[in-house]
Amino acid sequence: MECFEIGALWVMVTIICIHADTSEDGIQAECLGNRVQFILPGSLSAGSPLEVYAVNNTHTVLLSPHLAAQCGYTQKSDPWGNTIVSASLQSCFAESQGDKEFKVAMQFKLYEIPTLSEKVHEVFKSCSHAMISREILCETNFMEVSVRNALPEIKIEPVKEWPTVIPNLQLWKILLYTPGEKAFDKDALQAMGYSVYSSPTRLVMRSPFDMAETFIQNVDNVDMMVFKSVVLFRDRWVMTIVESAAACPINGASVVGQMIYWHVPLRITPLVSSEVEILEVHLGVNGRRFTPEEMGSRNHVMAITDSHIVVEIPIGAADGYYKSHVLNDQYHVSYNIEPMLELLWKEGLDKTSYKVLFPITTPLTPWPLQVIDYTQHKQKVFDVLLGYFLPDVELLNITFVSELLTVSEIINKGIVLHEHSFSNDTKAFTLQVPFSDPQVQIKNFRLDVTTYTLPLVFGFIIMPEHTAFARSIVLEASLADIVLPQAEGSCYEDYFNIYVKYGTTPSSQIKIKLGQMELNNKMLQQYQHHSNETHFDIIVPFLSPVVAFESVQLAGIMGRLDVEIYDSLNNWSIREFSLACPFFVKLSECFSNGTITVVLPKLESVPHLDPGELSLRDPACKPYDNEDYFAYFHFNVTSCGTTRKFVGDTMIYENEVTRKKDEPLSQTSENPEPEYRFMVSCVYIANATQSMSFDTVSHFKEPYADVGKGELTISLRLSKDMVYRLFYHDGDYPVLKFLKQPLYFEVGMNHSRDSRLAVALGNCWATLTEDKESKPRWDLIVDGCANPKDPEQTIIHPVVADERVDIPDHFKRFEVKTFTFTEDDESSKSENATLARRVFVHCDVVICHAKNTADGRCYKQCEAAQNLIGSSSSRVRRSTSFSEEALQHVSIGPILLM
Ligand SMILES: *C1O[C@H](CO)[C@@H](O)[C@H](O)[C@H]1NC(C)=O
Ligand SMILES: *[C@@H]1O[C@H](CO)[C@@H](O)[C@H](O)[C@H]1NC(C)=O
Ligand SMILES: *[C@@H]1O[C@H](CO)[C@@H](O)[C@H](O)[C@H]1NC(C)=O
Ligand SMILES: *[C@@H]1O[C@H](CO)[C@@H](O)[C@H](O)[C@H]1NC(C)=O
Ligand SMILES: *[C@@H]1O[C@H](CO)[C@@H](O)[C@H](O)[C@H]1NC(C)=O
Ligand SMILES: *[C@@H]1O[C@H](CO)[C@@H](O)[C@H](O)[C@H]1NC(C)=O
Ligand SMILES: *[C@@H]1O[C@H](CO)[C@@H](O)[C@H](O)[C@H]1NC(C)=O
Ligand SMILES: *[C@@H]1O[C@H](CO)[C@@H](O)[C@H](O)[C@H]1NC(C)=O
Ligand SMILES: *[C@@H]1O[C@H](CO)[C@@H](O)[C@H](O)[C@H]1NC(C)=O
C-alpha cells in the first residue's frame, strides 16, 4: 500500500492510498466467479463516515443505493463493522477485455472523526472469468442477465455473387415484458434506472429489484421476480433478436423450530423452454462457494427433490450472525445469513449459470436482558451487571436521577463503568456507584432501616443503523443501619426529668413534644436543660403548662407529662410515653394570722375550664391571679363565705372552690364535664394555728389520758385495726375517725405476769368532755355486758393468746360499731348532725382472782344479744356491784368523729 497527501487546503487533509490487488492489513478484494468482492475492515473505518465510489479511468462516481442497484454494485456491512462491497464483473464502471479479463476499481472515502479530514483508499481487482452463453445473477439489490450476443461461428462456403459484407448491427429497440409487451429505446431504459450494455460479444441487461417493468411469477410455490426483454439489433435490413430474462426468488425461506428451510425451484420456468439438464449445484454463503471440505464441515444440508433444491441451515450457524433490533421498546434479536446457490444447467447446446444470493433474516425474537445485582450491602456500593447484548449494541449514556451523563462523562467522574465481552459473542456492562453518591436517593420506609435507591436509564444504540433504545433499572438496597433514639424519664420531688439519647438519626431531625407542644427555643429558655451531640436532657417543673393534672387526691396531685420523640423529616413517631407521678404538695395553706392561700391546677378531666371562672363560696372571690393552668386564691377566715364550726376547743374553717356556672347547665351536652370542687379546711386550736386541708392533722395540743392508779395499772387503748395488733399511742390523740367507722377498744393490765389475776369490765360509756361524770353520757357496756338498750352497738370480743397476749385473762376487748347520739342533749341538738364531735370513752374495770370462782365478777355471763330483744328481762342476772375500792377508772380521748 502506498499513501500520499494530495492537498491540505484549510484544515481539510486528503490522503490517498492506492492499494494493490490485496493488502495485508487493508482492503481485501476477491474474485468470486462473475462477481468481485471488496471488504473494508472495520478496523480501517473505525466508525468513520464512509463514502463508496466506483472508479474507471476517467470517472469517479459516488455510489448511491440507486446507482449501485442500476450499475451492479451491492454494499452492506456486518456486525463487526466491516463494509462489504461486491460488484458484477460487468458492472457499469468495470473495464473488460474481450469479456474475459475484467478490472473493477473502487474508492473508499473515510471522514475521520473529529477532524473530518478525508482518507481515501483506492483499490482495484482484476479477475479472469470465462463467460458462458448465459449468466444470471440474483444479487440482493439487483438482477442481471448476460447473454452471448454473437452468432455462433458457422462455417459456410462464401457465395461468390454476394459481396462479403459483415453487417454492423446496432442496438435498435428493446421490448420489455411486464408481462405485457412494451417497447423502449436504450436511453429511455437507462434513464428509467435499468442498465443496458452491449459489447461485440455480449448483451448485459440489469434491473434493480421492484422496478415497474418487472413482474412476479409463481414457480413451484416460490414467487419469482422476472425481468424479461427482447433486444432488437439491426443494420438496415438485417435484424437480430436477443432474448434475455432474469428471474430471482423473492421468497421461499421459512423457519421451523431452529432450522431455516430455503426452497429454490429446480426448473425456473421463465428462464427455460424445454427440458434442462442440471449439471452442477453449489451452495455457498456470503457470495463465496463452499469447497467440498467446507460443505462437509458445515451443518448445512442441501437436498434436491423433484421440484426444488432445499437448503437447510440451522439457526445460529457460524456463517451467519445475530443482529439486535428494537421492537415495542424491547430488545430483540434476529439471525441473519446470506446463503448462495449456484446452478449450471444445459438446455440444448446452451449452458446457463444461475447464481442467487439470498439474505435470510429470521423473525425477531425477544431477547430478555438480565440485570444481575452484585451489590454487597456491607460495602455500600451498588454493583450491577446489565447484559447480555450482541456486539452491535453500544452504550451511549446513562441517565441518573438528576442528570444524563455520557459514557465518557461517567468515566471522568470516577464512576466505575466497564464493558465486558464474552466468548459467546455477547457483551455486558457493569456499573458501580457508591451509596454515598449524590445520585443515590436515601429514604427511610421503616424506623430503623435506610433504603438506598438508584434509578438508572441506560441509553443504547444499535449499530450501524443507530437505532436508539433505553433500559431502565432501579437498584435498591436496604440497610438496618439506624440506631433509634432512646428516651426515658423519671419523677423527682417537684419536677420531671426527660433524658434522650440520640441514635444515628441526626439530632436536627429529631423533635421532642412535651404535652402536645413541640419543644422550641422559647420553651428551652424556660426550662433547665443540657445537650451535647449525643444526649439531651431537660427538667420540667411539675407546675408547668405542659404537665397535665389527672386528679387531686389526699396524697397530692397526679401530674402527667406526655413525651413524644419524633423524626421531623419522615414525620414519624419514634417513641411515645407518659410519665405519671404523684407530687406531694400543699395546695392550701392556713396561716396563723387567718390568711388562707390556695393554688389549684386545671384538671385534665375538665378541659374547658378557664381557671378565671373559679371562685370561692362568695362568687366575688375570684382568683387573684390566674394563668391558663392555675388559679391562685388568697383570702381570710372572715371573708369569702368561709364557715366556721366549733368542735370542742377547735375551730374548723371551711370553704370550697367551685366553678360558678353563669348559665344553667346545658342538659343537651352529651358528656357534661365533671364538677370542679375543691374543699378547703383549716383547723385552729387555742392560740396555735394549724391547717387541716385534706391530709392529716399533725400537731395538736397535749393528748388527754387519765391514767389509772395503783400498782397494777390498767389501760384503755384504741386499736388501729380490727385484729388488735396496732394501737394509737398517747401522742396520737386526738384521733380522727369517721362517724360510721367501728372503733376497737381493749382494756388490759400492764406489767403483770400473774396468771391468777383477771380483768373484768364493769361499765363503759362515752362523754363529750374529759369529765367522766359529764352529761350527756352514752352507755356502751353496762355491768360487764353490752348496753341492753342498744345491744347491737357494742360487741364484746373474746381474747386469745398471741404474740402480744400471754395471759388472755388480763385483757378485755369490745367493738363500738357506730356512735349514735340519740340521747337528748342540748349541745348535740344545737349542732348540725354532720358536725364532728369529740368523744371520750371511760371504763370501770376490776381486777379479780381467776381461781376464785366464787367471785362471780371474773366470769360474767352475758345473754346473747338477740335473746334480749323482746324477751323477758327477768332472765338477766344482775351481778353484784363492785366495791368502790376494787374499781379502777380508765379513760381515753379525745376521738374526733367526723
Ligand atoms: C392565748 O391563750 C392564753 C391562755 O391560754 C390567753 O391568756 C390568751 O388571751 C390567748 N390569746 C389569744 C390571742 O386568744
Ligand atoms: C467511465 O464511466 C463513464 C460513466 O459511465 C463513461 O461515460 C466513460 O466512458 C467511462 N470511461 C471509460 C474509459 O470506460
Ligand atoms: C454468554 O456468556 C456469559 C458469560 O459466560 C453468560 O453469562 C451468558 O448467559 C451467555 N449468554 C448467552 C446468550 O449465551
Ligand atoms: C442518550 O442515549 C439515547 C439512546 O437511548 C439517545 O437517544 C440520546 O440521544 C442520548 N442522549 C445524549 C445526550 O447523548
Ligand atoms: C453528652 O452528655 C451525656 C450525658 O448528658 C454524657 O454521658 C456524654 O458523655 C456526653 N457526650 C459528649 C460527647 O460530651
Ligand atoms: C405528620 O403526621 C401527622 C399525623 O401522623 C400529620 O397530622 C401531619 O400533618 C404530618 N406532618 C407533615 C409535615 O407531613
Ligand atoms: C399573714 O401571714 C402570711 C404568712 O406569714 C403573710 O404572707 C400574709 O401577708 C399575712 N397576712 C396579713 C393580712 O397579715
Ligand atoms: C379579712 O378580709 C376582709 C375582707 O377582705 C378584710 O376586711 C379584713 O380586714 C381581713 N382581715 C384580716 C385580719 O386580714
Ligand atoms: C346545719 O347545716 C345547714 C347547712 O349545712 C345549715 O343551713 C343549718 O343552719 C345548720 N344548723 C345548725 C343548727 O347549725
**Contact by Cβ (8 Å): 235, 168:** yes
Phi/psi at 357 (5° precision) = -105, 125
Which of 624, 626, 616 is closest to 660 using CA atoms? 616
Instruction: Give pLDDT, residue 475.
Output: 92
Which ligand gives the minimal distance to the CA of 534? 5
Q: Which residue minimizes the CA distance to atom 14 of ligand 5?
A: 532
Q: Are 609 and 631 in contact (CB under 8 A)?
A: no
Q: What residue ranges line ligand 3, CB within 6 angstroms? A: 388, 422, 424, 426
- Closest atom of ligand 5 to 536 CA is 5
pLDDT tens-digit map of 133-177: 999 999 999 999 999 876 544 455 555 665 555 667 788 899 999
Both 718 and 838 in one domain: the answer is yes
Q: Note the pLDDT of residue 171.
A: 85
Q: Is 592 in the pocket of ligand 7 (CB under 6 A)?
A: no
Lowest pLDDT segment from 233-237, 670-674, 689-693: 689-693
Q: Whose CA is nearest to atom 11 of ligand 8?
A: 636
Name the strand (E) or helix (H) holding 293. Answer: helix 292-297
56 lines ligand 2 (CB under 6 A): yes
Considering the domain boundaries, does residue 588 fall inside one? no
Which is the closest atom of ligand 2 to the Cα of 95? 14
* CATH number of the domain within which 681 lies: 2.60.40.3210
| Residue in 58, 60, 187, 206 to alter for ligand 2 test, most ligand atoms within 8 A of Cβ | 58
The CB of 93 under 6 Å from ligand 2? The reply is yes
Task: Enumerate residues 6+ apart whose C-beta is below 8 A from 311.
Answer: 261, 262, 264, 283, 300, 301, 302, 339, 341
Q: Which residue has the cell 479477475?
A: 127
Tell me the C-alpha distance between 16 and 123, whole Å: 11
Residues in contact with 709: Cβ distance below 8 Å, sequence separation at least 6, in sequence order: 888
Residue located nearest, by CA, to atom 9 of ligand 3: 388
The rounded Å distance from CA 388 to ligand 3 centre is: 7
Report in angstroms the alpha-carbon separations of 500 from 490, 511, 545, 559, 578: 12, 11, 21, 21, 14
| CATH code for the domain of 340 | 2.60.40
**What pLDDT does 490 receive?**
86
Of the listed ligands, the closest to the CA of 407 is 4
Give yes or no for residue 39 having a pLDDT over 60.
yes
Question: Residue 77: which residues within 8 A CB-CB, separation 6 or more?
Answer: 83, 84, 464
Q: In the structure grid, which three cell numbers stand for residue 223, read together?
A: 414467487
How far does residue 595's CA lie from ligand 7's centre (Å)? 6
Question: Which of 488, 535, 537, 539 for mutating ligand 5's site (highest number of atoms within 8 Å of CB)?
Answer: 535
Same domain, 219 and 269: no
Note whether residue 4 is domain-resident.
no
Q: Would the pTM of this model clear 0.85, i.e. be above it?
A: no
Same domain, 283 and 376: no
In a domain, 826, yes or no: yes
Of all protein residues, the one whose alpha carbon is nearest to atom 10 of ligand 3 is 424
Report how far ligand 1's centroid is from the alpha carbon of 688 (Å).
10
- Nearest Cα neighbor of 249 from 153, 87, 357 is 357
Among the bound ligands, name the one nearest to the CA of residue 826: 9
- Residues 179 and 192 reside in one and the same domain: yes
What is the per-residue pLDDT across 828-866, written as a single tens digit (0 to 9) for each?
444 444 345 788 999 998 877 766 555 566 666 776 544
The reported pLDDT for the residue numbered 504 is 79
| Ligand 2 atom closest to Cα of residue 92 | 5
701 in any annotated domain: no
In the numeric block, which cell numbers belong to residue 100? Answer: 474475459
Ligand 1 center to residue 702 CA distance, Å?
Answer: 16
Q: Are residues 777 and 651 in the same domain?
A: no
Q: Name which residue sits closest to atom 3 of ligand 2, judged by CA.
A: 59
CB atoms within 10 A of CB 433: 23
- Which residue's C-alpha comes closest to atom 7 of ligand 4? 468
Residue 327 belongs to what domain range?
A: 252-365
Strands (E), 179-221: 181-184, 195-198, 202-208, 215-219
Please give the number of the atom of ligand 3 that sits closest to the Cα of 423: 2
Q: What residue owns the CA closest to ligand 3's atom 5?
A: 422
Ligand nearest to the CA of 502: 5
Q: Give domain status of residue 698, yes or no.
A: no
Q: Does residue 265 contact residue 307 with C-beta atoms inside 8 Å?
A: yes
pLDDT of residue 649: 60
Residue 851 lies in a domain: yes
Nearest atom in ligand 4 to 459's CA: 5
Nearest residue to 9 via CA among 117, 108, 114, 107: 117
Last residue of some domain: 231, 249, 267?
Answer: 249
**Closest by CA position to 29, among listed 138, 123, 156, 101:** 123
Supply the pLDDT for residue 279: 93
Residue 824: band (very low, low, confident or very high) from pLDDT cuts 50, 70, 90: very low
- The per-residue pLDDT for 583 is 73
Bigger pLDDT: 610 vs 161: 610
Within 13 Å and on the Cβ side, how many CA atoms surround 492?
9
What is the per-residue pLDDT across 175-231, written as a single tens digit (0 to 9) for each? Answer: 999 888 999 999 999 999 999 998 888 899 999 998 999 999 999 999 999 999 999
**Spatial contact of 869 and 791, defined as CB atoms under 8 Å apart:** yes
Q: Are residues 361 and 383 in the same domain?
A: no
Ligand 7 proximity of 591 Cβ (cutoff 6 Å): yes
Best substitution site from 528, 532, 539 to test ligand 5's pocket, by max atoms within 8 Å of Cβ? 532
For residue 591, which ligand has an atom nearest its CA? 7
> Minimum-distance ligand to the CA of 687?
1
Please name the residues in contact with 570: beta carbons below 8 A apart, sequence gap of 6 or more: 444
Say if residue 555 is in the same domain as residue 610.
no
Look at 19 and 529; give whichever has higher pLDDT: 529
Q: Are strands 117-128 and 134-138 parallel, antiparallel or unpaired?
A: unpaired
Last residue of one domain, picked from the residues 249, 277, 296: 249
Q: Which of 449-453, 457-461, 577-581, 752-756 has the lowest mean pLDDT?
A: 752-756
Question: What percent of the chain is predicted at pLDDT more than 70?
Answer: 83
Instruction: Judge whether residue 668 has pLDDT over 70.
Output: no
Give the distance, in angstroms, between the CA of residue 779 and the centroid of all CA atoms in the same chain.
84
Q: What pLDDT score was predicted for residue 698?
A: 24
The answer to whether residues 29 and 37 touch, using CB atoms and an 8 Å cutoff, is yes
Burial of 680-700, coded b for 16+ CB within 10 Å and e otherwise, reads bbbbbbeeebebbbbeeeeeb
Which numbered atom of ligand 4 lies nearest the CA of 469?
5
Say if residues 716 and 744 touch (Cβ distance below 8 Å). no
Evaluate: CB of 593 within 6 angstroms of ligand 7: yes
Q: Are residues 806 and 682 in the same domain?
A: no
Do 354 and 342 have their domain in common?
yes
Q: 150 versus 769: which is more confidently predicted? A: 769
Query: Residue 550 — pLDDT band, cuts 50, 70, 90?
Result: confident
Shared domain check, 460 and 517: no
Most trustworthy range by pLDDT among 162-171, 355-364, 741-750: 355-364
242 and 322 together in one domain: no
Residues in the chain: 898
Q: Ligand 9: distance of its center to the CA of 644 in Å? A: 11
What is the distance in A from the centroid of ligand 8 to the CA of 239? 155
Q: What is the DSSP string of 550-604?
A: EEEETTEEEEEEEEEEEETTTTEEEEEEEEEEEE---SEEE-TTSEEEEEEEPBT
Distances (CA, A) of 631 to 381, 543, 554, 605, 607: 62, 12, 19, 16, 15
Residues with Cβ within 8 Å of residue 504, at least 6 apart in sequence: 481, 482, 483
Using the atom order of ligand 3, give the atom closest to the CA of residue 426: 1
| pLDDT per residue as tens digits for the range 431-472 | 999 988 888 888 877 777 888 999 999 999 998 888 999 999
> Would you say residue 867 has pLDDT above 50?
no
Number of helices followed by number of strands (H, E) in the chain: 8, 69
How confident is residue 648, by pLDDT bands cut at 50, 70 and 90? Answer: low
CB distance 595 to ligand 7 below 6 Å = yes
Please tell me if the CB atom of residue 636 comes closer than 6 angstroms to any atom of ligand 8: yes
**Helices marked H in 414-570 — which ranges?**
521-526
- Does the Cβ of 197 fall within 6 Å of ligand 2? no
Is the pLDDT reported for residue 524 higher than 50? yes
Within this chain, do residues 93 and 51 fall inside the same structural domain, yes or no?
Answer: yes
First to last CA, the chain: 130
Dist. CA 635 → ligand 8 center (Å) = 8
Mean pLDDT of 671-696: 54
Phi, psi (rounded to 5 degrees) for 119: -130, 120
Beta bridge partners of 386: 371, 429
Residue 642 CA: which ligand is closest?
8
Domain presence at residue 570: yes
pLDDT of the residue at 1: 54
pLDDT exceeds 80 at position 743: yes
Q: Which atom of ligand 4 is nearest to the CA of 399?
A: 1
Report d(CA 682, CA 592) in Å as an integer.
10
Ligand 4, CB cutoff 6 Å, lining residues: 396-397, 404, 406, 459-461, 468-470
Q: Is the pLDDT of residue 812 over 60?
A: yes
Q: Does residue 592's CB lie within 6 angstroms of at least one atom of ligand 8? A: no
pLDDT for residue 467: 92
Contacts with 232 (C-beta within 8 Å, 6 or more apart), sequence order = 171, 172, 173, 174, 175, 239, 240, 241
- Using a 6 Å CB cutoff, which residues line ligand 5? 530, 532-535, 537
Structural domain total, the chain: 7
| Residue where a domain stops, chosen among 583, 613, 633 | 583
Q: Write the DSSP symbol of residue 411.
A: H
Q: 207 CB contacts (<8 Å, ≥6 apart)?
A: 142, 143, 144, 193, 194, 195, 213, 214, 227, 246
Domain with residue 798: its CATH number is: 2.60.40.4100
Nearest bound ligand to the CA of residue 572: 6
Residue 5 located in a structural domain: no
Given a cut of 50, whether residue 398 has pLDDT beyond it is yes
Select from 369, 397, 404, 460 the residue to mutate for testing ligand 4; criterion: most ligand atoms less than 8 Å from CB. Answer: 397
Quote the mean pLDDT of the chain: 81
477 against 734, higher pLDDT: 477
